[in-house]
């Protein structure tokens, strides 16, 4: 598979970059799987004005122009370089994102004194400072607060400068000195390659320590910029050492959850910025930059200094010099980046099924779109399980449940479905100990439900990363585990069998998830965990799928770091998934949507089947674009499967409803 090739290439690259403090290893474009004409087109666009550039693929220098040693004023690319110190602080447990800035900095936010009068300063966290949602006005000196933290997005130099001071006080060290010691020098970056200018807005010292500005101030050459980009491409790992936490890099490159829908100040200069901005890095998560993969992320400074990282293409691009225009309008970057992307000959183009056709299911015939039953408008998620009382239990997010709708919007709510698919009734269940009102990523959401021997189990995401809860009274009251999955398992879901777990293959409970720390990022693979059904509450009882051995038997490990892929769809095409056992066909059925900007309303998805929970998987149905939106999650409730396994009903959050569509399996 393509993923194995990528992993093998990454392993080879790691051996090359281990010696990177010297010159870059080089490849000709054709050796790196690239077309020189596309690189030349990007260079020609860039060189309409003065500047330099590097293109790095698979850890090797493929193309360059200009003087690689000339240092340029990088302006706001300083923000993306400076925030690297926050990654160190998270690794060293010096700071947490949820820490209040006033607890780290005695003079935080003042001057001006008017900021203290707002009452907002005690509410500003490190995360607000790193995401442009703290509320400080644009300039890097001591600016007034414009709004309450987290309520709007406003591009600012002042917020990052306050972040730099918080980090300086946490370490009691000069940030330039810290970054050279821990990051720059190991990457082979010297003081000749990168330097901070004297502060433009704030005094040189804070508590006798050199004070640095993150809003602007770094001067560097493209060689140094590319090395920093490579560190982020490798998720913070270099030369066999984890320099930055991988989780920090993932947050830096992703839309800031919970802030993606806040209003943007000066939106004409920064259109839709909240939807493509992470921890002081820009990203293409929403697909706004046409022709560039959605996993691309980059630094961006005045004069168009750029460190562009595209993980799915194993690509880093560094560019600095004179600017091409004004403001953060993505279209300005397209003539530069699109030819580079298109020059990659082996780039993934149209998504294709990741597995061969099913030997059992020839195709799936879906009922006409106008027959889809839609209930519970505005609510999403909808994992399901077949209860001991013959009801289907489900959970919803960010809505008002079934009719009659609740008067208050819940971030997590519960319901049960009674009756046949064509005439079911949705009944809301209230639970003071289970439901919450947190919207989006700010609230826990159910991603998996399972009933075993009358106990209803729930896997909850957005809990850093996932948490287990259980109910002995059919979702009315819940008990929460005192432990969490903190590595991976950003969107965990149970494998469902029959009524009350009848027909289970053995005494274990199985849990699938994308191999990511959040439900909001796609991955290239799915992982699998299991625990004895009577020991699910014990963290020590859980073990993780490693691989299938030569005899076809699954191998398991108690060490989560040894987890292996149970399902692969590269690059970054594994998203929210559910799995149900079709007893009539004796096949495991996995549904998975393709990640996209608005899957509730449009997009593609696949249905896959296998003889065992760990595979081998084959494709029963696949489409890049369904005739309706597949929803952000979907599943086949086992109760609504016919006895012969040929008729199923797909539950999804399509159109932001509880949506139900009949599926007839055509067998070979």
pLDDT digits (tens, 9 = 90+) for 448-477: 999 999 999 999 999 989 999 999 999 999
Look at residue 61 in the predicted model and tell me its pLDDT: 98
Q: What is the pLDDT of residue 19?
A: 46
To the nearest 10°, report the CA torsion of 184, 190, 192, 198.
Answer: 40
Percentages of the chain per state (helix, strand, coil), in multiples of 5 = 20, 30, 50
Model confidence at 114: pLDDT above 80: yes
Strand ranges of the sheet holding 380-386, from the earlier edge strand across to the other edge:
380-386, 392-397, 413-418, 425-429
16 falls in which pLDDT band (50, 70, 90)? Answer: very low
Q: What's the length of the chain? A: 668
Residue 329 in this model has a pLDDT that exceeds 80: no
Specify the pLDDT at position 348.
59
Residue-wise pLDDT tens digits, 299-322: 999 999 999 999 989 999 999 999
pLDDT at 20: 66
Q: Is the pLDDT of residue 14 over 50?
A: no
Quick one: pLDDT at residue 349? 57
Output the pLDDT for position 346.
77
Average pLDDT, the chain: 93
pLDDT-based confidence at residue 600 (cuts at 50, 70, 90): confident
CA 127/CA 129 separation, integer angstroms: 5
For position 294, what pLDDT does the model report? 81
Residue 79: is its pLDDT beyond 70?
A: yes
pLDDT band at 442 (very low <50, low <70, confident <90, very high): confident
Q: Give the pLDDT confidence score for residue 326 in this predicted structure.
A: 67
pTM for the whole structure: 0.59
Q: Which two tokens stand for residue 321?
A: 């010099």
Place of tokens 């004070």: 211
The pLDDT of 199-224, averaged and rounded, is 98
Task: Among 4-8, 477-481, 643-647, name the one with the lowest average pLDDT.
Answer: 4-8
Question: For residue 406, how many C-alpha atoms fall within 13 Å in the half-sphere facing its CB?
Answer: 24
CA separation for the pair 456, 392 (Å, rounded): 11
Q: Which residues fall within 8 angstroms of residue 114, CB to CB, at 6 or more apart?
A: 144
Residue 288 above 90 pLDDT? no
Residue 6 scores a pLDDT above 70 = no
Per residue in 128-168, pLDDT tens?
Answer: 999 999 999 999 999 999 999 999 999 999 999 999 999 99
Span 633-654, mean pLDDT? 97
Q: CA 539, CA 15: separation in Å to the nearest integer?
A: 36
Evaluate if residue 17 carries a pLDDT over 60.
no
pLDDT of residue 1: 27
> Does 332 score more than 60 pLDDT?
yes
Q: What local confidence, expressed as pLDDT, does residue 305 receive?
A: 97
pLDDT band for position 285 (50/70/90)? Answer: confident
Q: In sequence order, which residues have a C-beta less than 8 Å from that of residue 438 and are 6 or more positions away?
A: 411, 412, 444, 462
């Amino acid at each position: 598979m393509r993923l194995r090739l990528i992993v093998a290439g990454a392993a080879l690259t790691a051996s090359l970059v281990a010696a990177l403090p010297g010159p870059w290893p080089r490849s000709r474009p054709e050796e790196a799987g690239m077309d020189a004409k596309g690189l030349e087109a990007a260079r020609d666009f860039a060189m309409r004005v003065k500047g330099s550039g590097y293109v790095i693929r698979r850890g090797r220098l493929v193309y360059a122009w200009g003087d690689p040693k000339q240092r340029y004023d990088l302006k706001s690319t300083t923000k993306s370089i400076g925030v690297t110190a926050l990654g160190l602080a998270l690794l060293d447990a010096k700071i947490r994102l949820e820490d209040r800035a006033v607890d780290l900095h005695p003079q935080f936010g003042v001057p001006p004194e008017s900021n203290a009068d707002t009452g907002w300063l005690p509410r500003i966290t490190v995360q607000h400072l790193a995401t442009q949602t703290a509320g400080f006005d644009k300039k890097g000196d001591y600016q007034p607060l414009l709004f309450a933290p987290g309520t709007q997005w406003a591009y600012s130099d002042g917020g990052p400068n306050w972040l730099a001071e918080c980090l300086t006080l946490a370490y009691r060290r000069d940030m330039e000195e810290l970054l050279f010691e821990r990051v720059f020098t190991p990457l082979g970056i010297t003081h000749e390659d990168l330097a901070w200018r004297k502060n433009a807005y704030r005094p040189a010292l804070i508590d006798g320590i050199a004070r640095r500005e993150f809003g602007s101030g770094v001067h560097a050459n493209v060689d140094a910029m590319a090395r920093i980009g490579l560190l982020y491409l490798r998720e913070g790992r270099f030369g066999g050492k984890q320099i930055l936490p991988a989780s920090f890099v993932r947050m830096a490159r992703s839309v800031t959850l919970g802030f993606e829908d806040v209003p943007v100040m000066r939106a004409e200069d920064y259109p839709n910025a909240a939807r493509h901005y992470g921890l002081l890095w820009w990203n293409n998560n929403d697909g706004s930059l046409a022709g560039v993969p959605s996993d691309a992320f980059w630094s961006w400074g005045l004069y168009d200094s750029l460190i562009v990282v595209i993980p799915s293409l194993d690509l880093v691009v560094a560019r600095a010099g004179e600017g091409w225009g004004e403001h953060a309008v993505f279209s300005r970057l397209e003539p530069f980046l699109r030819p580079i992307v298109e020059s990659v000959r082996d780039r993934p183009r149209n998504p294709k099924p990741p597995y061969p056709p099913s030997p059992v299911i020839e195709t799936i015939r879906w009922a006409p779109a106008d027959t889809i039953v839609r209930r519970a408008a505005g609510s999403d998620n909808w994992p399901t399980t077949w209860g001991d009382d013959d009801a289907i239990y489900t959970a919803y997010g960010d809505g008002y449940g079934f009719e009659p709708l609740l008067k208050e919007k819940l971030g997590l709510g519960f319901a049960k479905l009674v009756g046949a698919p064509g005439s079911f009734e949705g009944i809301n269940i209230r639970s003071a100990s289970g439901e919450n009102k947190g919207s989006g990523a700010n609230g826990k959401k159910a991603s998996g439900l399972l009933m075993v021997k009358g106990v209803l189990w729930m896997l909850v995401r957005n809990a850093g990363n996932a948490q287990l809860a259980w109910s002995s009274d059919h979702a009315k009251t819940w008990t929460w585990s005192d432990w969490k999955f903190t590595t991976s398992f950003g969107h965990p879901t149970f494998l469902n069998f029959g009524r009350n777990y009848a027909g289970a293959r053995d005494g274990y409970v199985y849990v699938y998830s994308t191999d990511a720390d959040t439900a909001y990022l796609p991955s290239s693979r799915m992982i699998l965990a299991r625990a004895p059904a009577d020991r699910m509450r014990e963290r020590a009882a859980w073990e993780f799928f490693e691989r299938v051995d030569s005899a076809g038997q699954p191998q398991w490990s108690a060490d989560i770091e040894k987890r292996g892929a149970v399902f692969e769809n590269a690059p970054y095409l594994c998203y929210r998934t559910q799995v149900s056992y079709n007893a009539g066909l004796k096949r495991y059925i996995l549904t998975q949507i393709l990640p996209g900007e608005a899957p509730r309303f449009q997009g593609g998805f696949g249905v896959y089947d296998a003889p065992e929970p760990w595979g081998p998987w084959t494709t029963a149905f696949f489409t890049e674009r369904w005739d309706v939106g597949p929803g952000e999650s979907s599943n086949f409730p086992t109760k609504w499967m016919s006895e012969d396994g040929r008729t199923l009903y797909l539950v999804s959050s399509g159109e932001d409803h509880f949506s139900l569509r009949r599926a007839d399996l055509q067998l070979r």
